[in-house]
Amino acid sequence: MTTATVRTEQVSIDLGERSYPILIGSGLLDQAATWAQLPKAAAALIVTNDTVAPLYAAQLAKALGAHYAAVHTVVLPDGEVHKDWSTLNLIFDALLQKGCDRKTVLFALGGGVVGDMTGFAAASYMRGVPFVQVPTTLLAQVDSSVGGKTAINHPLGKNMIGAFYQPHQVVCDLGSLKTLPRRELSAGLAEVIKYGPIADMAFLDWIEANLDAMLAGDVAALAYAVKRSCEIKAWVVAQDEREGGLRAILNFGHTFGHAVESGMGYGAWLHGEGVGCGMVMAATLSQRLGLIDGKLVARLMRLIHHAGLPVQGPLLSDIDNAGRYLELMRVDKKAEAGEIRFVVIDGPGKAAMRSAPDALVREVIDACCVSV
């Protein structure tokens, strides 16, 4: 990753009294201005994992030491497979053992799993304490840290147990991306790519032109990708905080992708990898519904492949693969009365929620999955 610095940018989430800033820049963990508006409290708890803790926990603890009399840290096991009740309880154990009160501030230092679990713990502990997102992966910076979705997984469905609970602020230090493995960087690019076909075709053009730069760790390119992604998500969340309608479009590719993650076993595929092939499936469904042409599908497939992401879904069953996908997708949060609802591309740069006959969905899955 390049060592150049970029100007700190701010994107605001407009939610009335619960509005908050997203700070995007280099070296933010060490800048006093980053932490100038923290909630007042006697103690803070940093929630991180055993991969991120050796890299950034001491740095964050030092920065927070100027604001809190006590700064505690709890280190969780890393990985999607640990996004469950037992790991969540490690956070509650730390809060209770340290005598933390209802003003204690939680800091989520890590990727999407840490962010989701920290937010859920903050929403639940003493019926709600403040928390701050400090995402250290590209995927978390462009998507999961923004908008207040918190959750843990259940063996029967991803992110099925959780709450909407907004952070006090989000701090995206681009410097943390320099330690990100290539596979994780590619996974994050899936959540960047999704914004183009559903909301901003000019951004899709930009992603195509700058994908190699992002893959090479160019900090200026990554800064713009994070900023524009956050702007689009902030605009959507401000209109539909609790996913009553519009916000569901941000799940483009996720209905198929979540089925992949759940069906393969949490952690076998990264979230962004599931979303990558999920977007190909969703675009193919959009084409077969007559909403877009094959050129856009092929364009997305090339871009997703170039980003280092899978463009074919895995086999989840040797007997009835499409049936297994359908079974898992019926548990999706967007399903209504057992009817699966998909985010489709309703023309370039637009998205909509649609149902589709099982027979058509089966055709799409068969066409988009690795053959036996």
With residue 72 as reference, give the H or E element that holds it: strand 70-76
Options 194, 258, 333, 341, the catalytic residue? 258
Residue of 233, 261, 321, 333 marked active site: 233
Query: Of 80, 184, 231, 243, which one is the catalytic site residue?
Result: 243
Q: Which of 82, 83, 194, 247 is catalytic?
A: 247
Catalytic one among 80, 191, 231, 261?
Answer: 191
The catalytically annotated residue of 7, 17, 40, 127 is 127
Question: Cβ distance 313 to 307 under 8 Å?
Answer: no
Instruction: Return the closest-CA partner of residue 265 out of 63, 39, 80.
Output: 80
Decide if 243 is catalytic. yes
Residue from 83, 227, 228, 271 carrying the catalytic annotation: 271
In the structure encoding, which two tokens stand for residue 118, read together?
Answer: 């920290």
From the candidates 168, 254, 333, 341, which is the catalytic residue?
Answer: 254
Is 191 considered catalytic here? yes
* Active site (annotated) includes residue 247: yes
Considering only CA atoms, which of 147, 268, 109 is closest in space to residue 117?
Answer: 109
Query: Which residues neighbour 13 within 8 Å (Cβ) at sequence distance 6 or greater?
Result: 19, 20, 21, 22, 146, 147, 166, 234, 237, 238
Phi, psi angle pair for 317, to nearest 5°: -155, 140
Instruction: Decide if 80 is catalytic.
Output: no
Instruction: List the one residue out of 272, 299, 294 whose CA is nearest residue 284.
Output: 294
In whole angstroms, what is the distance from residue 91 CA to residue 87 CA?
7
Active site residue 233: yes
271 is catalytic: yes
* Active site (annotated) includes residue 149: yes
Give catalytic status of residue 127 as yes or no. yes
Is residue 258 part of the annotated active site? The answer reads yes
Question: Which of 72, 82, 83, 149 does the annotation list as catalytic?
Answer: 149
Residues serving a catalytic function are 127, 149, 191, 233, 243, 247, 251, 254, 258, 271
